[in-house]
Amino acid sequence: MILVFGGAGYIGSHTVKHLLDNGYECVVADNLIYGHREAVDKRAEFVHADLLNPVSIREVFKNRKIDAVIHFAAFTYVGESVSDPQKYYINNVVGTTNLLNVMLENGVKKIVFSSTCATYGEPQYTPIDEKHPQNPINPYGRTKLMIEQIFADYERAYGLKHIALRYFNAAGCAKDGSIGESHTPETHLIPLVLKAIKGEREKISVFGTDYDTPDGTCIRDYIHVEDLALAHRLAVEKLDEYSGCLNLGTGVGTSVKEIIDAAEKVSGKKCPVEYGPRRAGDPAKLYADNQKVKKILGWQPSYDNIEDIIRTAWNWELNRRF
């Protein structure tokens, strides 16, 4: 049985669906602060639990034979982490140590962790590989780096097997339209563009058109959420053989303008755009070297075309369930 903590969130719910589709038994734990109960596959058992309450974590483990944990439960808004770092250090770092300690109490020593490319900070080179220096520029990224370091310490001391997956830009929705991306507030570019196309937003703001990129706008690596889900399953299956950190990205960069163009093509509608000055802290280019994850996990992204990724997100926006 796989325990998916934070399994009612965007990436967590897609991973739960993928695990169930591939024959795994899952229990989902979530405090539903940002997650959606409706997103949890009905085939999975759901338990309301909070990482800041060790008693509720122990209840999840009680009378269940949990083989491994996938940990998605975190606060992830970069701007909020700057204005309220206390919230992030307590929830992300203290919450994770609470989870690890209850795992050890119950003899569970396998975990796959939702990390981030934000641990790298300003890129010194691209594509970014796992050897790139880690110097996060915001509290959110620092909490994720701290957790990676905690895992390494727990492995040396207690034999904890772990794989931390450093995502680049998660995007898209389930191909069958059953679940999708639903954040409040929404900060991801693709759903913001699609909401502007639908008329739910007045416009999309593009910050900076003078970057050293082919069209002057920032370049990012967009990876489909179903490809992320696949990587989590493969990581669980590899924990006996490997511990460490792996990048998850397509290795292909797409600019902001290219996202807007692709969204217009997929939807057949124009997107209202306002161009403005650069935003502080936005690197010109950020995309992954994914050779290590391909070698270690045998992982290969199935979505390598940005229009295909956006098409799944547009389908969700047109038929949103929550």
Phi then psi for residue 297, to 5 deg, are -100, -15
**Residues facing 207 on adjacent strands:** 276
Cβ atoms within 10 A of the Cβ of 56, count?
17
How far is C-alpha 194 from the chain's CA centre? Answer: 20
129/135 Cα distance (integer angstroms)? 14
140 has catalytic annotation: yes
Tell me: cis bond preceding 127? Omega within 30 of 0 counts.
yes
* Burial annotation 123-160 (CB, 10 A radius, 16+ → b, else e): beebbbebebebebbbbbbbbbbbbbebbeebeeeeeb
One of 140, 167, 211, 303 is an active-site residue; which one? 140
Helices (H) then strands (E): counts for the chain: 11, 14
Contact 14, 224 (CB under 8 A): no
DSSP string, 183-240: -SS---HHHHHHHHHHTSSS-EEEE-S-SSSTTSS-EE-EEEHHHHHHHHHHHHHHTT
Tell the burial category of 196 from Cβ atoms under 10 Å away from its Cβ (0-12, 13-18, 19+).
buried
Helix axis angle for 306-318 and 256-267, nearest 10°, is 60
Tell me the catalytic residues: 140
